[in-house]
Chain A
């Protein structure tokens, strides 16, 4: 025996330590290095791009604009407080002279800030995504179960799948204007238009993946269902759905990332007060800060898109029965 038990244990511990160190390196250090190099290249490239609105925004300019946007957000909040105070004073004065007057507190009329625009965007994207899922999953199951239905519907899907949101938008806008009559206090038309456009564009990945998932249910399971003489509903609920769930979620994940991409374009044109409108308005402003602020929005859009994708990935892993499958 060349090594004592003790040295072997130490060696084992060292291997463990170096494994941990390696994984730390992979998880933290490498991405950090990647980002670092990107920021450096960005900084250098930005310095050499001159536009008529000044230099292309580099990391420092973007940092400055993030601070600016935060300050503006806080100032807007202060204005909001002042707005409500003024309103209360006004209502109180009015009540003094006119006891029958019933004061109503009106919501703040100020501008949406960058932060509130992010929430508008998220709200819109989830509405569109939810509508898409509600239509897409049953449709996907139906065409997955019946080969003839699939052949009938498939050409339509293939034709509409590649249509850009910009092509849908004018049609959706006009239809929404004609069909959807706003009564006070309900959803604004720009929101409905954006959400429906998002839905039309992000519905297809879920339909296709659900259909594939349903078709690929193993024959053994289908036979089991036949032997047990399950009714159609039971067959769908007990056999088809559980087997197709991983594929459905793959589809939903693709749909959500499509939805997020489409949303920005839709908001720009439909004037829905989210991130898309922020980018458009800044482009129109053409001030020396505009490019920097648009860059902040670009980063925010990317980061939120990434978080949404992670969210779906987690869900996908959670519902997938094959926990060893590598999902990226």
Chain B
């Protein structure tokens, strides 16, 4: 045996040992209990972490063979997760909470991964926009932002005088969009209406100045065009779609309603998570990597992500429409394109970490609009948040990624000291401060809504 061959052999041996070491390291979580998984999503740009984890092989790196399937609407999606047809899904942050407290379909759903921040907007029809525009101050030739609902109030009063209901659309009773739309309206002195599940009324229109109803996201533009609704709150690309189609004008993004608000989550049933703990951690690992990829190098990968999700099997809208919001800009009135680098945040600002305080904000809004029929003590809010939001599982996945060298500890909150509560913030359109530890005191600050 020549010395060269020996040398090659040694090197290969060393390499094999190294891979062995690396793979034992990777197997610290243990093999997934379930290899083949099916996840549901709704055709919205914020499903992108799932698409990236699939396309970039992050799921496969975890030994998972995942099928992604578009669902018809949020209700179908939630019900299919509950019945076990889907292993998990892209969900509205309010869905695991609503399901757990029993508003709508009742089931124990948990989340250990927050999918994104921001990403929604409110769009009104051209006719409403022309009326609203008269009430909006002009700044350097363009409407001054953020546009408050104060500008919409006279328009709604006009409709009321004529006896016409002012119809608005949102995507689901416990959706971020419902709460954001109501928050924006109420901040402008418009009563969005209350729910009263204890009386069997789940339409959410009691005493409202407007009539808010449910429409699945992809059908929003068509419903607006048909004149069934005069405006809607929805995620992308369905606001930009209205601009492209020339049927409506986005007036405000949710970034302006509440800066860096938590949006979608990845939800599974509690039973599923308990039955397949390793699988769950591995899924979260893949999703964390996907989210990081999306925000890496100042959104450098976003154009590629846009190309991937514009395929018909994912979001399927035209590339230009998706790119408008995904690449750091947002087009309001046709031609009025403004820079909002944080319109879609997938990883920075610890976007993927499931904060209890995020859950508590949603619960306060459920109470504010009557979806929770009676006043609850502060401790109840914390208990529900702890039941549904699982930063502990997230931390296991993150530590695993750090140990494998795929991520750095600096990418994550300091798990040893993290309380999973965000500091109090007043980054809302009406400047009212939210402190997750005092939900009842927070509710008391609002003029419109239940306490």
Interface residues of A (CB under 8 A from B): 52-53, 72, 86-87, 90, 93-94, 96-98, 104, 106-107, 109-111, 177, 182, 188-190, 268-269, 271, 273, 280-290, 293
Contacts and interface: CB of A to CB of B under 8 A. Distances in A.
Given A94-B23, A96-B16, A285 B218 contact: yes
A182 B19 contact: no
B60 A86 contact: yes
A284 B76 contact: no
Given A189-B85, A269-B72, A287 B67 contact: no
A93 B35 CA distance: 17
Nearest to A176: B83
B315 interface: yes
Contact of B70 (A94, A109, A177, A284): A284
Contact of B316 (A52, A110, A284): A284
B234 to A, nearest CB: 12
B221 A286 contact: yes
Contacts of B68: 111
B225 A52 contact: yes
Contacts of A273: 69
B247 A52 contact: yes
Contacts of A111: 68, 313
Given A52-B221, A97-B16, 8 more contacts: A52-B245, A189-B83, A189-B85, A271-B72, A283-B218, A284-B218, A285-B312, A285-B317
Interface in B40-80: 43, 54, 57, 60, 63, 65-72, 76, 79
A52 B246 contact: yes
A97 B18 CA distance: 10
Interface in B213-243: 216, 218-219, 221-222, 225, 241
Contacts of A86: 57, 60
B135 interface: no
Contact of A109 (B65, B219, B246): B65
B393 to A, nearest CB: 24
Interface in B310-350: 310, 312-313, 315-318, 321
A129 to B, nearest CB: 24
A282 B36 contact: no
Given A285-B317, A286-B241, A293-B312, A97 B70 contact: no
A282 B225 contact: no
A281 B19 contact: no
Contacts of B70: 281, 284
Contact of B23 (A98, A283, A284): A98
B242 to A, nearest CB: 9
Contacts of A281: 43, 70, 312-313, 316
Given A97-B19, A106-B35, A109-B67, A284 B219 contact: yes
B208 interface: no
Contacts of A190: 85
Contacts of B137: none
B17 to A, nearest CB: 10
Contacts of B19: 93, 96-97
Contacts of B20: 97
Dominant secondary structure at the A interface: helix
B246 A285 contact: no
Contact of A288 (B246, B313, B318): B318
B9 to A, nearest CB: 15
A11 B85 CA distance: 73
B303 interface: no
Per CB-CB distance, the 3 closest pairs between chain A and chain B, nearest first, are A285-B316, A284-B218, A111-B313
B33 to A, nearest CB: 12
B207 interface: no
Contacts of A286: 218, 221-222, 241, 316-317
Contact of A280 (B54, B72, B310): B72
A87 B225 CA distance: 47
B225 A271 contact: no
A194 B19 CA distance: 48
20 contacts: A52-B225, A72-B312, A86-B57, A87-B60, A90-B60, A107-B36, A107-B65, A109-B65, A110-B67, A111-B68, A111-B313, A189-B85, A268-B72, A271-B71, A281-B313, A282-B316, A284-B316, A286-B241, A286-B317, A287-B316
B30 interface: no
Contacts of B315: 285
A284 B218 CA distance: 5
A190 B86 CA distance: 11
A248 B337 CA distance: 66
Nearest to B63: A90
Nearest to B246: A52
Contacts of A271: 69, 71-72, 76
A177 B247 contact: no
B13 interface: no
A186 to B, nearest CB: 12
B310 A287 contact: yes
Contacts of B222: 52, 286
Nearest to A285: B316
B431 interface: no
Nearest to B36: A106
Contacts of B66: 109
A120 B312 CA distance: 18
A190 B67 CA distance: 15
Nearest to B61: A90
B275 to A, nearest CB: 13
B72 to A, nearest CB: 6
Nearest to A68: B312
A190 B77 CA distance: 13
B102 interface: no
A253 B47 CA distance: 44
A280 B219 CA distance: 11
B43 A284 contact: yes
A281 B247 CA distance: 22
Nearest to B82: A177
A239 to B, nearest CB: 49
Contacts of B63: 90
Interface in B72-116: 72, 76, 79, 83-85
A290 B321 CA distance: 14
A290 B222 CA distance: 14
Nearest to A284: B218
A38 B413 CA distance: 65
A104 B34 CA distance: 12
Contacts of B76: 271
Given A282-B316, A293-B312, A104 B35 contact: yes
B62 to A, nearest CB: 11
A190 to B, nearest CB: 7
